[in-house]
Structure 1
C-alpha cells in the first residue's frame, strides 16, 4: 500500500492549491524550455507512464503537455491491438510510435501492458509473457544505445485511494468514460496486479532504463514530483528563440467584408446566459 498522504501525522501535509499552481506553472515554463532544447538539438525523448488504473497518469500527462507544441510533444495511447497486429512482433506497433529527431513522445501506457493487464487477465500466453520479460530489457537497451532518452515512471496508488477515485468517476458523467469492466475488476485482483508489478520490476528495472516510482495518493504532489524529476534528468538548457517584431499593418486597399447574411454563424449561446 502506498504511504498515507492525506496530511495526517503519517504523511506530508497536502499542498495548497495556490502554492501547487504557482510551482506547476514554473515547471511548465521549464518544460517549454526542454521542448525547445529537444527541437534545436534534434534529441529524441520517450517518457513512459505506467501504474494502476486511476493512479493519476492521465492527469499528469495533461499537465506536462499543457503548453507544449503538439507537433513536437505527442501523446501515444494505443487501443487494443488489431488481429493483424497480434501476429506481429510484440514491440512492432510501439516502434512505429517512437520519436524522430526533435520530438518527444509520451506513452500513456506502453509495451508494459503485456507485463500487467495482459498477464493478470490472461490476454497473453505464459510463453508470450516470458518472452516479453526476456526481450524487454534488450529492446530498451537498444533504444538507449541508439541515443533515445528513455524515462519510465510508475505511479503508485493505495487500494483505498484507487477505490475512492473509481467511485468518483462512477458519479461524474464527464469522467465515467474512463472506467471499463476491466478497470473495475482490478479492485478484486489487487494482489495479482501487485505480484505482476513486482515481477516486472525484477526483470526490467535495468541501469540503462531504470524505473522511477511516483507516490500518487496526492495527485498534486505526484505531478510536481514527476515533472521535477524529469527536468532534473535531461541535460537541457535554455535555447533563446529569435526575437520577433510585429510588422506594421499596411493601409487598406479597399477590401470590404461580405454581408453577414451571406455566411452562417453559430448561434450566440453566451448571450442567452446573460438573460
Structure 2
C-alpha cells in the first residue's frame, strides 16, 4: 500500500517537474525515481513531436490497451495523454453495450471511435472484450466467440489497408501483484471506486482469464497488427517501456514550426473596465 501511495504522489509530481528542476539536483548518481521522471519527460517530449507529425501528415493511429484488472493500463494512458492535445489524442473507454448495441454487428460501436486523419485514439479496453471478460463471464455464446476470432483478423486487416496503424498491448502482471493492488484499492477510499463486482470476480476466475488471454494472443496476433506484451509488475518501468515502444512503431519526424510572436495588446483610451460584483467572487479561502 505504501508503494501505491507513493505512486499517487509521484503522479502529482509529474505534472510539476521539468528538466530545469531535475538539473538543479546534486551530481550524485540518480535514483530510479529521478531517472523515471527524467525519462518520462523526455518520452513525453517525443510524444509531442509525434502528435505534431500526426497532425501535419494526416496519419491515423489506433492503440489498444488490454490486460487484467489493475494491470496499469490506465496509468500508461494517463502518461501518454498528459501533455498532448485532447483534440488530437483522445481516449475511448466504452461502457457495457446497450440493449440496442447488443443487436448490432459486434464491431459497429467501436467503428465510430476510430480516428480521422491527424488523430490518435487510445482504446482503454477494446473489441477484445469478447475474447476476455465476455468469454469468461459467459456474456457471449460459443458461436459468437468463434465468430469473433474469424472476424477480428479481417477487421484489423481492413483497418490497416485503409491506412490506420493498429498497435495492440497486453499488460501482464502476476497473481500476487494483482492481489496486492486490489487490497490497496480496498484500503484507499480515493481508489475504492476502481473496484467493481466484475473486478472481484476476476480474482476468483484468474485461471479462466489466463486461458482466455493465451487463446486471444495465439488466435489474433497477425503480421499486420501483432500483439505486444508489456511486463507490468513494476508500474514505472512498464510506462516507460510501453511509451518507448509505441514511439518506435510510428515513423514520425520532427515538424518544423513557424516562430511564434506575441502580438502587442491594443489599448483603447475610451475603455473603462466595470468592477465585478462581490456576489460573483468565489470566496478566497486559500
Q: TM-score, normalised by structure 2?
A: 0.87
Once the 2 structures are TM-superposed, how far is the Cα of residue 253 of structure 1 from its aligned partner? Answer: 2.6
With 42-51 and 239-248 compared, the bigger mean Cα shift is at 239-248
Once the 2 structures are TM-superposed, how far is the Cα of residue 258 of structure 1 from its aligned partner? Answer: 1.8
Q: Secondary structure of 1:60's match?
A: helix
2:153 to 129, 137, 145: 137
Pairing 1:208-247 to 2, within 5 Å after superposition: 208-247=224-263
What per-residue deviation string (whole Å, max 9, x for no partner) do you get for residues 82-136 of structure 1?
1000000000000110000000000000000000000000011111111101100
Q: Which residue of 2 aligns with 1:51?
A: 67
1:116 and 2:118 are equivalent in the alignment? no
Q: Which residue of 2 aligns with 1:175?
A: 191
- Which structure 1 segments of 5+ residues have no match? 1-14, 271-275
Once the 2 structures are TM-superposed, how far is the Cα of residue 33 of structure 1 from its aligned partner? Answer: 0.4
Runs of 4+ in 1 over 4 A off after TM superposition: none
Q: Secondary structure of 2:259's match?
A: coil
Pairing 1:1-275 to 2, within 5 Å after superposition: 16-261=32-277, 264-270=280-286
- Aligned-pair RMSD on alpha carbons? 1.1
Once the 2 structures are TM-superposed, how far is the Cα of residue 263 of structure 1 from its aligned partner? Answer: 5.3
Once the 2 structures are TM-superposed, how far is the Cα of residue 68 of structure 1 from its aligned partner? Answer: 0.5
Equivalent-residue separation in structure 2 for 1:266 and 1:167 (angstroms):
39
Once the 2 structures are TM-superposed, how far is the Cα of residue 172 of structure 1 from its aligned partner? Answer: 1.4
Once the 2 structures are TM-superposed, how far is the Cα of residue 233 of structure 1 from its aligned partner? Answer: 1.2
Equivalent-residue separation in structure 1 for 2:183 and 2:272 (angstroms):
56
Q: TM-score, normalised by structure 1?
A: 0.91
- Which structure 2 segments of 5+ residues have no match? 1-30
Once the 2 structures are TM-superposed, how far is the Cα of residue 255 of structure 1 from its aligned partner? Answer: 2.2
Q: Secondary structure of 1:151's match?
A: strand
